[in-house]
Structures are given as C-alpha cells and as structure tokens.
Structure 1
Amino acid sequence: MVLKPTRIVRSAAVALAAAASLTLTLPGNAFAIDHVECRGGENFLKIWSHSGGRDSVDCYANKGRIGFGGWWVDRISTGNNDLIYYDANGDSVRISRWTDITFPNRPPKVDSIEIL
C-alpha cells in the first residue's frame, strides 16, 4: 500500500511534465501586445489620437490585439509592424509596416488595434 501514493504522485508529475512540454513546443497564437514607452530610434507602432479634449501618443510592441477605447486617430506610424485597426463603423483597415499615415480631415474612431 505504500507504493500506491508514490505511483499516483509519479503519474501526476509525468502528466504535468508532458503537458508543459507540449505547451512549449506546439505553435499557437500569442497575444502579447504591449503598451510600451515611446522612445526615439525604436520601430514600435506609434499612434497619435484624441478624445474628449485630450491628446495622446501611444506606442505598442509585439503581436496581438488590444482595445483602443474609441479614440479618434490622427496619425499612425507602423514602424516594423503590420497593423489592422478596427473602427467604430465595423470596418477593419490593414496598414503595412514602414507606413506613416495621417488623417487630417476625417480621422477614424478606433475600437481596437491588432499587430500581425
């Protein structure tokens, strides 16, 4: 009877190790987009926006999707990122890397952004 608890513990440890190795080796979507500090010389996604009388400049790095809160976007510099923004009208717009675009007349109201 002493061996039975040891066998259960050993089986659990083997199952845990197998699950961990599969997690590390199988490809999957990593949604790790990060809001980062804007720094000169970096190739981050950079977005100039405004809402409710406030202006903001935000930078993002890494693949993934994040809410943007319905802010009006004045300018986007994609850096080395391909981007899709999802606007309040339900449209999605793809912008290629190394693009700097401004919206002087009709800025989009953006609900979320996705770095590809």
Structure 2
Amino acid sequence: MVSKTKKVVRSAAVAFAAAATITMTVPAGDAFAIDHIPCRGGENFLKIWSHNGGSQSVDCYANRGRTDFGGWWVDKISTGNNDLIYYDANGDSVKIERWHEITFPNRPPKVNSIEIL
C-alpha cells in the first residue's frame, strides 16, 4: 500500500513540475483589447468625431485591437500615436498612419469597425 501511495505522490509531483516548466518557458501573448476611453486634452489617443441621424459624438480609444463602430458617419479622425485601419460600409479598409489628422467635409465614410494596430 505504501508503494502505491508513493507512486501517486510521485506522479502528481512530476505532473506539477511539468506544468510549472511549461508555464515558465512559454511566453504570454500580447493582450489585444481596444478600450473606449474618456477624451482628455493633451493625450495622444485615437480620437474620432462622428454623427448618426441627429446625434453627434466624439470618442477616444487606446490599446491594440478591433471594435465595432456601429455604422456611424465619420467627420474627423486624429490618430495620435496609433496606426489605424477603419472598415467602412462599402467593404473597404483604409489604413491611416499615426500622427495624422483627417477630415471628411463632403463625403464622410460610414464606418462599421475600427482597428488600432
């Protein structure tokens, strides 16, 4: 009976050691979670001015990732220190490099989603 208990304890210890080794040697991946954040002056976040129906909005975003934009019409984009791709209702994707500000006074794009790279 003692040898059976020793085998169970030894097997558990080996399994624990293997799991610990894998955990320490496999690097954690990057977290990709775009965040909708409060807009503040002087910050270098992605900032988007948009409208839909009678509503207007100014939204700011930080961190990598992709999020739904709800098909709002975009009037202006300031990328700050972010590279951006927006996906419009026509199925097109448009990349805008960091540190750019673009306005769409005549034909604003209707944007379905945005992605910070």
TM more than 0.5: yes
Task: Please give the secondary structure, in 2, of the residue aligned with 1:50.
Answer: strand
**Please, which runs of 5 or more residues in structure 1 have no aligned partner?**
none
Match of 1:12 in 2: 15
Cα offset, 1:29, TM superposition: 5.0
Measured at CA, do residues 18 and 112 of structure 1 come closer, stay the same or move farther in structure 2, by a change above 3 Å? farther
Percent identity (aligned): 70
Structure-2 residue corresponding to 1:63: 64
Distance, in Å, in 2 between the alignment partners of 1:14 and 1:58 is: 48
Structure 1 stretches of at least 4 aligned residues deviating more than 4 Å after TM superposition: none
Which runs of structure 2 are paired with 1:86-97 in the superposition (5 Å)?
86-97=87-98
Match of 1:2, SS? helix
Partner amino acid, structure 2, of 1:31: F
Alpha-carbon distance in 2 for matches of 1:18, 1:56: 49
1:20 partner amino acid: T
RMSD: 1.6
Query: Which of the two has higher C-alpha Rg?
Result: 2
Report the Cα distance in structure 1 between the residues aligned to 2:8 and 2:54, rounded to whole angstroms: 65
Aligned length: 113
1:16 to partner: Cα distance: 3.0
Q: Which residue of 1 aligns with 2:53?
A: 52
